[in-house]
Amino acid sequence: MIVQEICEALQFLANPEKADFYPRFFKAGKGGYAEGDQFIGVTVPDQRKIAKEYWQKIPLEALSELLSSPVHEHRHCALLMLVSKFEKSQEIFEKEAIIQFYLNHKEFINNWDLVDSSCYKILGRHCFENEDDTLLRLLAAEENLWSKRMAVVSTMWHVKRGQFEVMKNLVVKNLNHEHDLMHKANGWLLREMGNKNETELLDFLSLHYRKMPRTTLRYAIEKLDEQLRQDFLKGRR
């Protein structure tokens, strides 16, 4: 079966040292945000090689089995293949099926790398091309951390194309979320906006920076002139 073939191909590329390191890096230990996640130690470049080889061969039904695996690299490789399917699809019904598949398997997209490597290329692109951000607003309103991160990171598709309003609205909605992973995501997207249009970033910061978690602020201002950075850090703006 194709799922078994893919798992065996990934296992062949597994590195024991990486398998030992990844649970610590991805906080899979007791009390971590990914507690219980399992790793076999396959790097992302190697996962991409497998995904490139199999994405056309594997149907969604089999991809569902891979995406529901307890092994992190299985799930990530499944998402890489799903992104390829979405990017190459020419039919609206195929794209809609992939969107629904993604949402139906949301519970398995449960770490920051899984979210970040897939959501904006699927959900973000879908919302941008359909000029409808309802889905992202619904995700942002959910209690689940990963749904909230999906919402804001999905706006990367918009930000890269010079459209910032959706992202700014979602950042404000969860600006003071309790988790550091949301602080980082919000700051990251604000920084990306600043890379495209520094004035937009400065205007946003002037309204909100005093209320931001420190991590969000540091991420957002990382690429600014040093004097500007210090002004924001020291509350002089």
Q: What are phi and psi of 91, to 5 degrees?
A: -110, 135
- Residue count of the chain, please give it: 237
Four-residue CA torsion sign, 29, 34, 35, 37: negative
- Go through the domains of the chain in sequence order and give each one's CATH number: 1-107 (1.25.10.90), 118-237 (1.25.10.90)
Give the residue-averaged pLDDT of 228-237: 92
Check if the beta carbon of residue 162 is closer than 8 Å to that of residue 195.
no
Looking at residue 237, what is its pLDDT? 81
> pTM of the predicted model, to two decimals?
0.95
The sign of the CA dihedral 116, 121, 123, 125 is: positive
How far, in Å, CA of 176 to CA of 179, rounded? 9
The model's pLDDT over 53-93, given as tens digits with 9 standing for 90+, comes to: 999 999 999 999 999 999 999 999 999 999 999 999 999 99
Q: For the chain, how big is the Rg over CA atoms in Å?
A: 19
Q: What tens digit of pLDDT does each residue of 192-228 get? A: 999 999 999 999 999 999 999 999 999 999 999 999 9
